[in-house]
Structure 1
């Protein structure tokens, strides 16, 4: 770790990074709302679809979203009620363990949002490259 004092340029770069990050989050939240989703539902759909391996459990989704299991359970219940996700109890050893999959409607909404996000992330990447390059 360097002990040199931060320069004005460093502070400007850090502020620019925070600004860019907030801009991306605002874009993402606005896109979710325009698609008829809450930002939390969008994150849930993406966490389920992007999970590496077999369909994730509620506990795995809580970990991916960095929320408590009971909060993930409530989020899943709301998404299930909206027809976005399906919950299946397919572990004969543990009837409490449920795995999550996207419904056709949830998958379609996620796909539409993901195309938009991919383009915005490409723009964001270029912006971050400039910002991070200024940090030296």
Structure 2
């Protein structure tokens, strides 16, 4: 028995197209803003993810890899580049010596705060279009 699917209308395609456009515009904005700050968008995201876990101000390499959807060995190289730039520092975990914690340094915090402030309006615009796509039937 074939499953019945609700037909997707033109309005939904328009909403999805607008969402993809705005998502790509957001990503482009983020890339350009990071570049203007003298870092890559991946360095920005790494710093952001060090601050993204409730109750602490660091993240493990494996957590950052998951958030970036990247391989841990690639994240290790990214952390090394961020360390060389004076943005973060590594610390062995006090609870699990196999884990490495990545901590934001003051120079990294300044860059992250500037970039997060720039992203605020862009995030609001992206949230609005997500709400429209959901309203039109997801």
Moved over 4 A (4+): none
In 1, distance between residues paired with 2:60 and 2:79? 10
3-state DSSP of counterpart to 2:49: helix
Q: How does 1:105-116 map to 2 (within 5 A)?
A: 105-116=107-118
- What is the TM-score normalised by the length of structure 1? 0.87
Q: 1:65 aligns with which of 64, 68, 89?
A: 68
3-state DSSP of counterpart to 1:56: strand
Residue 23 in 1 paired to residue 22 in 2? no
User: Structure 2: which 5+ runs fail to align?
Assistant: none
Mean alpha-carbon deviation: is it higher for 84-93 or for 34-43?
84-93
Give the conservation status (yes or no) of the 8 Å contact 1:13–1:132: no
Q: How does 1:1-136 map to 2 (within 5 A)?
A: 3-54=5-56, 55-91=58-94, 94=97, 96-135=98-137
Pick closer, same or farther for the CA change 1:22–1:2 going to 2, 3 Å.
Answer: farther
RMSD: 2.1
Give the conservation status (yes or no) of the 8 Å contact 2:12–2:133: no
Pick closer, same or farther for the CA change 1:44–1:2 going to 2, 3 Å.
Answer: farther
Give the conservation status (yes or no) of the 8 Å contact 1:91–1:98: no
